[in-house]
Amino acid sequence: MSTIDAPGGTRLMGFGEALNDALDVALQIDPTVVLLGEDIDDESTGGNFKITAGLSTKHGDHRVRTTPISEQAIVGAAIGGALGGLRPVAEIMFVDFLAVAMDQIVNHAARLRYMSGGKTPVPITIRTASAGGQGFGGQHSGMLESWFTHVPGLKVVVPASADDAKGLLLSSIFDPDPVLFIESSRLYFGNMAFGEPGGDPRRLHVEVPLGDYRVPLGKARIRREGDAVTLVTYGRQVDDATKVADRLAEEGISVELIDLRSLVPLDLETVLASAAKTRRVVIFQEAVTRSGFGGELAARITEELFDTLEVPVRRLGAPNTPVPYAANLETAYQPSAEALAAEVRETVERKARAS
Amino acid sequence: MTAPATDPQVLNRIYELAARIRLCDERVIKMLTGGEMAIIYYPVTGQEVLAAASGAVLRADDYVVTTYRGMHDQVAKGMPFGPLFAEYMGRVSGACKGKGGPMHITYPELGIMVTSGIVGGGLPIANGLGWAAQLLGQDRVTVVNFGDGAANIGAFHEALNLAALWDLPVVFLCQNNRYAEHTSYARSQRNEQVAPRAEGYGMAGVTVDGNDAAAIYSVLAEAVAKARRGEGPTLVEAMTYRFNGHYFGDPQEYMPTEEKKAAKAADPVKALRRKLIDEGHANEEDLAALEARIRAELDEAVAAAKAAPMPDLAELYTDVYAEELAS
């Protein structure tokens, strides 16, 4: 457990508020920072999820600019803006809509630095929201991080808590490379579905440092120390994983919980150190398991620690289906806390292989 | 302030740039034919004059975005032959250290910001360059070049709409060479021209003979001046013809022989050369001397490229990110 160094003080914030604060700070400290995306200025509601609320009023609608519904034009303008000396932060409303802008993201943002021999870096940040588990159906619920971790030239960041959301977003904005920044929209509402009755939307509020607070990319966060099994996850799965780890602790199972924070760059060192210690690993992801990031991680861990591991690395993610709508189907689709607890128990209880 | 197209100096400047392009194109084709170099090349033959006019209009600090068929646009913007040929041959002294190749020539020193291998991919990026200039209070203009084929990709629509909406200092230069890869213009869209589409975006659009130096220069000078004044973008459709098929070696069976013959008979580079002499703006000796100088420059560039080393193998892993990532 790390304590935050915050000489400027802290304030209790939720995930969305922390993101808003990060954007506000970035706009304040660097006149070349600009925001663009659909609905993001105050005249158009301050963003679909209100993450940019107030920013156009404060910093001007020339710097916080609402665009037409044109994902290719948004990402392209961000890329060109970066080439022309700006530090653009583009908002693509839902992860699924990245598919519309794939050419700009993959063929251009990711590759221009390399193809020009280093002459045209593209320091942009693309913020986007994943919205699984909220009844949005098949085209607004995707978690597609592995599409982008497969592309050299892109960085991929997936924050799990309000303090990290702020610190990682500021690091992303001032990073010299294109960063895809995936925000689980459930975390905007305390990991509840949008408009879900009951529950406490402030449950996940934490103290967030004020001012220019940065969390470096590529440094995993050990959310809980343990010695029986390593549980690796990121994004909103961290909240579920924390609950599972708490519950398993009561059963006497000591879980070491690692929040990756960023997938590219990947803090493999922290993961391997933990895996070498516990010798048992479970990877937990929101996305479809097949060809997902968990598979990559499992391979990397196994390549390094095949002789040390007592049992195979296990992955828990979503089944090979699009995201369904009906509440019972979507619940069954989501990799649940119960399934995770069972997976972890099984991994811990499994007999070690003969060495 | 740009000089009028009637100014002999302007026409001479356009010819000089067009000759650089034509002789460079000829040299590449000669090297490919003779087995001196083996690259994928998308010839620009026939499209030189419109690019040269653009080069004569633009300032060194203006931006150009182009496509894989972009050598003419690059050379018109000042791209030196040395790093161009070195890049073609994948040498470390190439414009992109040999890591981009002919389809991705980049030379930001002279505003050659992006050469995209994706049809239409440069249009949204040109908007960003324009937006940056607008926000940073610079009066630089971006010219984005693309073919008639790119007018049918979604990025064209999104980019023109945004550019018009935001009054961006961007000139969309559609080089209508009558073919989208191996498919004729007529088999790609219903409308006879591309420029009228501008109206649908609330943007000025104009079709002009891209092979007529004075005509294309006037139109581009006006569009660039307008953009520089902050009065927004223009779609310029420059009519031209692609002499050599989609890529070098293309059998061109889909291009009617008569059509090709007629286009070559009206060769825009030769026509401009003749006009300069006929109208007394230049004489044969001076132009021949100019052409000899360009050829010598090409000789030197090719020799230097051949002598230059390939990139070090360590280059494979650099420039992916600002810093090499461990994992």
ipTM of the complex: 0.97
Residue A160 reports pLDDT greater than 80: yes
CB of A300 within 8 Å of any CB in chain B?
yes
Chain A interface disruption, residue of B99, B135, B139, B143, most A CBs within 10 A: B135
Of B107, B125, B142, the CB nearest to A76: B125
Residue A1 reports pLDDT greater than 50: no
What pLDDT tens digit does each residue of chain B (327 aa) get? 567 777 899 999 999 999 999 999 999 999 999 999 999 999 999 999 999 999 999 999 999 999 999 999 999 999 999 999 999 999 999 999 999 999 999 999 999 999 999 999 999 999 999 999 999 999 999 999 999 999 999 999 999 999 999 999 999 999 999 999 999 999 999 999 999 999 999 999 999 999 999 999 999 999 999 999 999 999 999 999 999 999 999 999 999 999 999 999 999 999 999 999 999 999 999 999 999 999 999 999 999 999 999 999 999 999 999 998 876
Of A34, A103, A218, the CB nearest to B118: A103
Chain A interface disruption, residue of B104, B131, B146, most A CBs within 10 A: B131
Per-residue pLDDT, A355: 59
What's the CA gap between B41 and B29, in Å, rounded?
8
CB of B113 within 8 Å of any CB in chain A?
yes
Counting residues of chain B whose pLDDT is more than 90, the rounded percentage is 97
Residue A5 reports pLDDT greater than 70: no
**For chain A, how are helix, strand and coil distributed in percent, rounded to 5?**
40, 20, 40
Helix (H) or strand (E) holding A133: none
CB of A114 within 8 Å of any CB in chain B?
yes
- Which fold, A10-209? Rossmann fold (3.40.50)
> Which residues, in sequence order, are CB contacts of A218 under 8 Å at separation 6+?
A262, A265, A266, A267, B325
DSSP states along A245-269: HHHHHHTT--EEEEE-SEEETT-HH
Per-residue pLDDT, A2: 47
Domain B8-297 of CATH type 3.40.50.970: yes
CB of B202 within 8 Å of any CB in chain A?
no
Contact between B106 and A117 using a beta-carbon 8 Å cutoff: yes
B132 CA: distance to closest CA in chain A (Å): 5
Residue A46 reports pLDDT greater than 90: yes
Q: What is this structure's pTM?
A: 0.97
Distance set, CA B60 to CA A170, A222, B56, B63, B244 (Å): 35, 52, 10, 8, 30
- Chain A CB contacts of B133 under 8 Å are 84
Question: What residues of chain B, 232 to 261, have a C-beta less than 8 Å from chain A?
Answer: none
Domain A221-349 of CATH type 3.40.50.920: yes
Contact between A113 and B319 using a beta-carbon 8 Å cutoff: yes
A302 CA: distance to closest CA in chain B (Å): 15
Counting residues of chain A whose pLDDT is more than 70, the rounded percentage is 98
CB of A303 within 8 Å of any CB in chain B?
no
- Chain A CB contacts of B116 under 8 Å are 107-108
Q: What is the pLDDT of residues A239-282, one digit of tens each?
A: 999 999 999 999 999 999 999 999 999 999 999 999 999 999 99
Contact between A83 and B129 using a beta-carbon 8 Å cutoff: yes
What's the CA gap between A61 and A68, in Å, rounded?
14
Environment class of A227 (CB within 10 Å of its CB; exposed 0-12, middle 13-18, buried 19+): middle
Every domain of chain B and the residues it spans:
8-297
Per-residue pLDDT, A7: 76
The b-or-e profile of A80-106 (16+ CB within 10 A means b, else e) is bbbbbebbbbbbbbbbbbbebbebbbb
Q: What is the pLDDT of residues B223-275, one digit of tens each?
A: 999 999 999 999 999 999 999 999 999 999 999 999 999 999 999 999 999 99
Tokens representing residue A105 in the block: 């993201």
Per-residue pLDDT, A4: 61
List residues of A with catalytic annotation. Answer: 71, 140
Portions of chain A given CATH number 3.40.50.920: 221-349
